[in-house]
Amino acid sequence: MTTQNILIVDDEAELRENLAVLLSHEGFQVATAESGMEALRLSGNERFDVVLLDLIMPELDGIETLQKMRRINSKTKFIVMTAFATVNTAVQAIRTGASDYLSKPFRFEELVAVVRRSLEEARFESQIQARDLDQTLSSLANPIRRRIIEMLGHGQSRRMTDISAALYIEDHTKTLFHLRTLKEAGLIRQTEDKLYTHTPAGQNAYNLLHALVYQEGRLP
């Protein structure tokens, strides 16, 4: 099995080194950078599968660093870390190219789960490209958003709190972030009763996901 390379970019030395040690114990190959400029230098010499990127840094902030690093390797997955997470900052990060975000302080178990989801997202995107499937599915590369679409299948509708509980997500901001991303992609809508349900495009995406299940025997 290929070892995945992770880069941690944070100007806080203690956090940076602690995360490096913990992720190394999980079997990842880990490098660190104390600034956006150092991260860019490292990316010029090595390919990283996932970059953990602090949003607030001196000189070159997380969003600027993400934009520049994506030009070097568009397949790298970025996870933004911030102590000031809101739905708006999360959506800004995703529009720039981030896969997900973490609100500081976060539990190590949450970090590992987000990293593994980002790697799963990369594999799913590769399968979409290999099969030249409907690009609607690109918004469903994230496994949480796929599970929401599955959850709303067959005409079902649910409230945000029910979706959070079913996905074991304690941070409702994160659930709202994924729901908003699906809404902006035109895959779900919210009724006057505050229930989330598929749009016609969302139902088509649900059918396409199940076509993948039929082809592969499971979701990637």
List the chain domain ranges: 5-120, 133-216
Residue predicted with more confidence, 145 or 212:
145
Q: What digits encode the pLDDT tens for the residues 130-142?
A: 554 455 666 677 8
- Cβ atoms within 10 A of the Cβ of 22, count? 14
From the list 180, 188, 183, the residue with the least C-alpha distance to 204 is: 188
Instruction: For tokens 């970025």, name the residue.
Output: 78
Q: Which two tokens stand for residue 138?
A: 């690109």
Residues 85 and 180: their CA atoms lie apart, in Å, by 15
SS3 29: strand
Residues 111 and 104: their CA atoms lie apart, in Å, by 10
Q: What are the two backbone dihedrals, phi and then psi, of residue 171, each rounded to the nearest 5 degrees?
A: -85, 105
Beta pairing partners, 158: 196
Residues 103 and 101: their CA atoms lie apart, in Å, by 7
CA distances from 174 to 23, 103, 159, 180, 200 (A): 22, 9, 14, 10, 25
Q: Which two tokens stand for residue 115?
A: 């990293």
Q: What are the two backbone dihedrals, phi and then psi, of residue 27, each rounded to the nearest 5 degrees?
A: 100, 5
Give the percent of the chain with pLDDT over 70. 87
Q: What is the pLDDT of residue 219?
A: 46
Rg of the chain taking only CA atoms, in angstroms = 18
The pTM of the whole model exceeds 0.85: no
Q: What digits encode the pLDDT tens for the residues 45-104?
A: 899 999 999 988 888 888 899 999 998 888 899 999 888 766 677 777 777 888 888 888
If one looks up domain 133-216 in CATH, what number appears? Answer: 1.10.10.10
Please compute the mean of the pLDDT values over residues 21-43 and round it to a whole number. 95
If one looks up domain 5-120 in CATH, what number appears? Answer: 3.40.50.2300
Non-local CB neighbours of 129 within 8 Å, separated by 6+ positions: none
